[in-house]
Structure 1
Amino acid sequence: MSDDARSAIRILNRLVEELQRREREITTRLDYYEGRHKICYASPEFQDYFVDRFEGFADNWCAPVISGPTERMNILGIRVDDADRKADKDLSRAWRAADCERGSSEAFVVALAAARSYCLVWGNPADEETPRVTWERPDQAIVGYDSDTGERAAGLKLWRDDTTEYATLYLPDEVWKFSRPAYARSGYTVAGLVVPDEGTVRSRGAGAWEPRQGPKDDAWPIPNPLGVVPLIEMRNQTLLDDKPLSDISGVIAMQDAINLTWAYLMNALDFASLPQRVVMGTDVPMLPVLDSNGQVIGKRPLELDQLVRDRILWIPGEKANIGQWSAADLSAYSGVIERAIEHIAAQTRTPPHYLIGRVANLSAEALTAAETGLTAKTNERIVYVQSAVREVFALMASVMGDDAKADACRSGTVIWRDVQFRAMGQKVDALMKLKSIGFPLRWIAEQYGLEPPEVDRVMQMAEDQAAMDPFAQAVNGKPDLPASPPTAQPGGDPFQLEPAAAGG
């Protein structure tokens, strides 16, 4: 193996090691977003008896915390020409053709939930005018940076199937592809330890990386014509370090408390919502003990667990009688849950009516004010990912063969849909007032939220409508008028007017 290949494997192993360190935390965060929670904070007694009963249950509040801002993060295009401030048509077409509207939306969800996500841009042999853009999960991709310049030095995409682990290492000049066994079977040695004979064990390092060449690859390694690492990282907020924060890191603990309270509540529904029967004044029931021949050789008391499951309490006494406890008041549980949800709303700047769902007689202005925090939070998240989005557009332009446009994209303006949700009447009224003081129709259409192609279509329709307006034609046109007033000819019809003779 060449020195370059060994150097690539060293870079690959460092990135794989870092990716493995991140995987557990990323998986936990995404599980919480999807609603796969485990009961936490329960007492040992409760866990022994009831925790398996609530397996799979989740009152998922992590999802709305993430979806609140991400459903407002919609990219409409990018402006690269300072003179013509329209969205670039070629990049907008390529963005839609590569299904980036869906992909970017999903990537923003992952970036806010798991703290980061990735985008890979590469050429498309089937269509040279449409780059291939894929959006990658943070447990399958990682980017390494130059410690001096902060530029991308390497990128890795790692995935596996039932038998093989695959790795594609992206460097500025080359792309290296490797593979190795994904599982260590009997007889392999992992980290100096022999794997037991029974079953299979996940390796994460068993066996050496071997060169992998795709069916359409004509070289190994593959040259990188872009000259830069084509894998871009979208990071959420950081504290000036390489550890981006998740929007649900602080929500997870409260989410666990809510799930436990629900478990207590549903358990109480079984044991305390209905009157509980009590048998008093008799001995605890005894069960016969039989030998191997079926002969009674003794007695033993009925187990307490069986009594609990049967909802019966036995109290020995001379005179047995039956009583009952009244149903318990369960409203305390719901009050705790509502208070916990209010804390989540305050801590994450999520409007309370997004979580609690109680809206009564609130005006449009009041709802807009209630969403002020969410609007500010969304704009803040846009700032965190905007540089990465510009780089995605730049790589798309490079793949399309326009390096000048790629450079312009890195300082261009990404066009986002309006992040503030307002009532239609409010929005139209505000735009009408802006138009009345001189704002042009194109700017009004953009602020209304139309996509760039729709803005162009509206402007063309406005021009067509003006061309059919006779008053507009009279004002803006140049009608053919005679050079001088007509005069009547002597002896002729006084009502027949003809042009005056020259010099007359």
Structure 2
Amino acid sequence: MTDAPSGTPRALAQQLLATLDRDLPRLQRIDNYVQGRHDDPYMPAFADDEYRLLAKRAVANWMPLLVGTPAQALYVDSFRRGRTIDTQPAAQLPEWKHWQRSRLDARQAAIHRGALTFGHSFALTETVKGEVRTKGLSALKTAALYEDPANDDTPYAVLTVTRRPSSEQPGTARMWDATTEYRVTFKGLTDADSVRVSAVRRHGASECPVTRFAAAVDLEGRTVGVVEPMIALQNRINQTVFDLLVAQTYASFKVRTATGMAPPIKRDADGEPVLDDNGQPIPLPVNVNAKRFLFAEDPDVEFGSLAETPLAGFIDSIDMSIRHLSAISQTPPHHLLGQIANLSAEALLAAETALSRKIAEFRAMFGESWERVFRVAAELSGDTASAEDYAGEVLWRDMEMKSLAQSADGLGKLADSLDIPKRGLWPRVPGVTATEIGEWEQIREDDDAELQLAQSIRRATPQPDESALAA
């Protein structure tokens, strides 16, 4: 992403392609680390294939866990309109119908994970076959221009590559500005002369229909995810694991020694020693294992052993690096080390506090982005009131593990002691969805209608005279 956009659509496309080319090496390195393609640990110059095999096995990829831990707590569960417009059950809102039509219950995870991985991702809201839909765009293929990248939530222009160029055919891309969608062709990201731009259609919104999802944005407009700051620590862990594997492979066992005794040499059919290229006798391999006992006839021969290299120091170093990773990334130690035995509920809550604050920050950032998506979708659908609803907000699923009995007890106390309407507490029931709440609303309305009908029939039916019955 960059700022200071200006010029014709062709100039915008050239600037966006150059921005993508500039950011691609950094983003590709981040993607490599998430996929487990890490930098090799330090090895001596004479390293052979065996060393390189150990280096490949030394990769302990913690990056997916650093992304997945907060991502698994980021699920939009419903949407609530602002008080400035009429309210109705979430399942019946046009905004939520657009959400379900776009299958964002599942696809939102990819958008969130992309933002956590690279620092930002994008969502495109457009009209497809008469229906408004939203889909995610990868940061590896998409670049955006902002007049003020630190504060603007609306991009000036966005370009996403749909086909990379090859020797047989040029690359293609889609680009959007405030009014129009364009088709872009190019032979290379840095080949500005080959860029060709043609208008496709007016996209129907009053601003660019692409929304940025940023994990964190500083006042310079830079976005940072959870992976890039951890690459140095990941390399340290890989180096220590590699050193451990080398020590385990070559020095984790006792070495038997014998002095004052020449090894047996290889001989030919005539009993003559077989010589190597340097004219030295070739020794026979000595088969030493737990079943064999070594002895020598010469009394001057001495047998001994070299102690194995202790591995505890390497293991402690790995454990320390993982704890550093936990502290810097705000990931609870038991998520990384798997050590949760003998931890009280208070200790677990304290360990989860930093992660909860981190997730709350992500929810605030992503929530604003989803609210813009809903406004753009409403505008494309012709819903003027919702398009201007800046008081609406997304509701996040409560991912804390609670028993139903515990939640019911707490909600009951809230309803009784604070006089909170019971209907307002429905969304706080663990695991309930907007669709289920809509069904409860319908069932409640049906029950109320049946009750009113029964009462009307009872009032309209003549009651027998009790005195006459008594006589």
Q: 1:446 aligns with which of 392, 405, 427?
A: 427
1:152 aligns with 155
1:431 aligns with 411
Q: Which amino acid aligns with 2:426?
A: A
Percent of matched pairs sharing the same residue? 22
2:60 aligns with 59
CA distance in 1, matches of 2:145, 2:388: 22
Distance 1:478 1:170, change over 3 A: same
How far is the alpha carbon of 1:478 from its aligned partner?
A: 7.2
C-alpha contact 2:77 2:396 (8 A) present in aligned 1: yes
CA distance in 1, matches of 2:217, 2:438: 39
2:222 aligns with 243
Bigger Cα displacement from structure 2, 139-148 vs 80-89: 80-89
1:416 aligns with 396
C-alpha contact 1:286 1:300 (8 A) present in aligned 2: no
Distance 1:273 1:477, change over 3 A: farther
CA-based RMSD of the aligned residues comes to: 3.8
2:239 aligns with 260
C-alpha contact 1:117 1:234 (8 A) present in aligned 2: yes
How far is the alpha carbon of 1:138 from its aligned partner?
A: 0.8
What are the superposed Cα offsets for residues 189-246 of structure 1, whole Å, 9 maximum, x if unpaired?
A: xxxxxxxxxxxxxx7428612356xxxxxxx442232131111111121221211122
Q: Which amino acid aligns with 1:152?
A: P
Task: State the secondary structure of the residue aligned to 1:152.
Answer: coil
Task: State the secondary structure of the residue aligned to 1:250.
Answer: helix
CA distance in 1, matches of 2:61, 2:235: 10
Q: Which amino acid aligns with 1:113?
A: T
1:133 aligns with 2:134: yes
Q: 1:344 aligns with which of 293, 315, 325?
A: 325
CA distance in 2, matches of 1:454, 1:138: 35
How far is the alpha carbon of 1:257 from its aligned partner?
A: 1.0
2:438 aligns with 456
CA distance in 2, matches of 1:463, 1:302: 99
C-alpha contact 2:13 2:184 (8 A) present in aligned 1: no
C-alpha contact 2:148 2:221 (8 A) present in aligned 1: no
How far is the alpha carbon of 1:141 from its aligned partner?
A: 0.7
Distance 1:241 1:426, change over 3 A: farther
Q: Which amino acid aligns with 1:208?
A: S
2:87 aligns with 84
1:362 aligns with 2:363: no
1:109 aligns with 2:113: yes
C-alpha contact 1:171 1:224 (8 A) present in aligned 2: no
1:299 aligns with 2:288: no
CA distance in 2, matches of 1:222, 1:97: 23
TM-score normalized by the length of structure 1 = 0.76
2:40 aligns with 39
What are the superposed Cα offsets for residues 59-82 of structure 1, whole Å, 9 maximum, x if unpaired?
A: 122222221211111112322241
CA distance in 1, matches of 2:300, 2:88: 94
Which consecutive residues of structure 2, in runs of 5 or more, have no partner in the other structure? 1-6, 268-273, 290-297
CA distance in 1, matches of 2:145, 2:89: 35
Task: State the secondary structure of the residue aligned to 1:110.
Answer: helix
C-alpha contact 2:255 2:305 (8 A) present in aligned 1: yes
Q: Which amino acid aligns with 2:233?
A: M
Distance 1:221 1:459, change over 3 A: closer
Q: Which amino acid aligns with 2:340?
A: V
Distance 1:479 1:165, change over 3 A: same
Q: 2:191 aligns with which of 205, 221, 243?
A: 205
How far is the alpha carbon of 1:33 from its aligned partner?
A: 2.3
Q: Which amino acid aligns with 1:173?
A: T
How far is the alpha carbon of 1:425 from its aligned partner?
A: 4.6
How far is the alpha carbon of 1:256 from its aligned partner?
A: 0.9
How far is the alpha carbon of 1:250 from its aligned partner?
A: 2.6
Distance 1:400 1:322, change over 3 A: farther
Q: Which amino acid aligns with 2:428?
A: Q
- State how 1:488-499 maps to structure 2 within 5 Å: 495-496=470-471
Q: 1:280 aligns with which of 248, 259, 273?
A: 259
How far is the alpha carbon of 1:157 from its aligned partner?
A: 0.8
Task: State the secondary structure of the residue aligned to 1:350.
Answer: coil
- State how 1:215-226 maps to structure 2 within 5 Å: 220-226=199-205
Which consecutive residues of structure 1, in runs of 5 or more, have no partner in the other structure? 1-5, 183-202, 213-219, 289-294, 312-316, 489-493, 497-504
CA distance in 2, matches of 1:351, 1:64: 11
Q: Which amino acid aligns with 2:137?
A: E
Q: Which amino acid aligns with 1:12?
A: A
CA distance in 2, matches of 1:175, 1:482: 72
1:176 aligns with 2:157: no
C-alpha contact 1:75 1:101 (8 A) present in aligned 2: yes
CA distance in 1, matches of 2:276, 2:345: 80
C-alpha contact 1:174 1:221 (8 A) present in aligned 2: yes
CA distance in 2, matches of 1:37, 1:302: 45
C-alpha contact 1:38 1:55 (8 A) present in aligned 2: no
TM-score normalized by the length of structure 2 = 0.80
**Whose relative contact order is higher, 1 or 2, with alpha carbons under 8 Å and at least 6 apart?**
2
CA distance in 2, matches of 1:425, 1:486: 48
C-alpha contact 2:161 2:172 (8 A) present in aligned 1: yes
CA distance in 2, matches of 1:477, 1:71: 53
How far is the alpha carbon of 1:320 from its aligned partner?
A: 5.8
Task: State the secondary structure of the residue aligned to 2:16.
Answer: helix
CA distance in 2, matches of 1:174, 1:61: 42
How far is the alpha carbon of 1:364 from its aligned partner?
A: 3.8
2:271 aligns with none
What are the superposed Cα offsets for residues 146-184 of structure 1, whole Å, 9 maximum, x if unpaired?
A: 2498442111112434443112221112222121335xx
CA distance in 2, matches of 1:8, 1:318: 93
Distance 1:344 1:296, change over 3 A: closer
Aligned residues: 438
Q: Which amino acid aligns with 2:246?
A: N
Q: Which amino acid aligns with 2:21?
A: Q
2:362 aligns with 381
2:16 aligns with 15
What are the superposed Cα offsets for residues 268-321 of structure 1, whole Å, 9 maximum, x if unpaired?
A: 221122222335335799999xxxxxx979626799xxx9xx99xxxxx99665
> Greater CA radius of gyration, 1 or 2?
1
How far is the alpha carbon of 1:369 from its aligned partner?
A: 3.3
Q: Which amino acid aligns with 1:84?
A: T
